[in-house]
Amino acid sequence: MEETLRQLGELLLGAIPTVILLALLYLLYTTIVHKPLRRVLEERRSKTEGAIEKARADIAAAEARTSEYEQRLREARATLFRAQEARRKAALEARTAALSEARGKAQAQVQAAKADIAKDREAAQVGLQKEAQGLAAEIMRRVLAPAGAGG
């Protein structure tokens, strides 16, 4: 047993340089290769994820601008429609007013014409009445006049 312990001690003593070399190799690998490689990979991942996040933000901003543009377009169309409707209504009202005014003028002209016709009729009746009286008087004068008086 003592021999086994002595051999084990020699084996461990011989393994010390290997352990030191292995630890040194691990430290060198970590500092020279692993840390820079991890830093580069993290930087690449952050740039990639950053680009993806930036793209998502740009897409969201574009969608917001698109919806805002569509909203303004709808409002502009509604405003245009209201303006067209107002102009159409104003034109219709102007047409109705012009038509009413024309009807009023025509009615006034008709009334004036009727009044003129009534005056002319009265004047004609008065004239005819006077002429009829004159003719009646002439007829009575001729009829009642002596037959011998030529006339």
Each residue of 25-58: pLDDT tens digit?
A: 999 999 999 999 999 998 888 888 888 888 999 9
Across 1-14, average pLDDT:
88
Q: What is the DSSP letter of 147?
A: T
- Length of the chain, in residues: 151
pLDDT band at 13 (very low <50, low <70, confident <90, very high): confident
Rounded to 10 degrees, what is the CA torsion of 54, 59, 64, 68? 130
pLDDT in tens, 92-135: 999 999 999 999 999 999 999 999 999 999 999 999 899 989 88
pLDDT band at 65 (very low <50, low <70, confident <90, very high): very high
pLDDT at 147: 60
Q: Is the dihedral of CA 108, 110, 114, 116 positive or negative?
A: positive
Q: What is the DSSP letter of 33?
A: I
pLDDT at 10 over 70: yes
pLDDT at 148: 54
Cα 63 to Cα 69, 95, 124: the distances in Å are 10, 47, 89
Across 65-94, average pLDDT:
95
pLDDT at 143: 84
pLDDT at 74: 95
| Spatial distance between the Cα atoms of 34 and 48, rounded to a whole number of angstroms | 21
pLDDT at 145 over 80: no
pTM: 0.42
